[in-house]
Structure 1
């Protein structure tokens, strides 16, 4: 029988292993891009990790997933912009996991889709102006809001469904 310290270490090792596998899945999702954009299906593993491993792990996996997508796309919005988006992804995944774990499942999905779609698009568009990007403001917003919101819906709903299927099969 394991003492509490050994038990906690075992759980941490397990969660770290799962996190690594989910980051690898983010790399695969990073290669599946919305046509004509750098928007990809990289965040599903992060949202899933928020539910399966906890919000903090989900935030890390989602952030790393975005960095993988930005890297495979050549950082089209500049490195500083992608670092801000990385932070947005981490915060969104964390909030999603917290709300979901508190029993607000539908609200968690809606909030995460809004944060990852329209809110993220707005922040990116607003930050593009001081960074001097050629496509900025309303132009950037209008180009990314629809594909980003569609990708958000796909990533978040699929993560939720996968988690619920696993939960159901564990019982």
Structure 2
């Protein structure tokens, strides 16, 4: 019998950017989501999210978040990091606008974040074996790369691929 083990807890402070994955514990918000998860979103002038579906350059952007210090660090392919206080939305927006070459806005929602699914806004769960299996379907991507693309909050080890499917029922 498989023994599910919680391997990693990831929160994605800025929707579509890198995870903050050094948490040993995280608060669950009133809406069921995790604290800091998708608390910020980069938005086009049209109101659409800037994400990997509509902006390939987002994959060139690295980010680090320090919740205790309230700092967000961004780094483009040039390798020159820029650190900001999270309350300095003007500075962050100016940096992102220059990076993307068009005006963008940084929005913040500390109460519910910006989940993809507003009806099921809680944490997403995936088995590490699922990440490995799905990565095997594509050339040039490994399990870590697949995790960056699928963006799960909870990664479970010690179970077979697609184990997480049994956790869900019809809504």
TM-score bucket (shorter structure): under 0.3
Which structure is higher in RCO with an 8 Å CA cutoff and minimum separation 6? 2
Higher relative strand content: 2
TM-score, normalised by the number of residues in structure 2 = 0.26
Higher relative helix content: 1
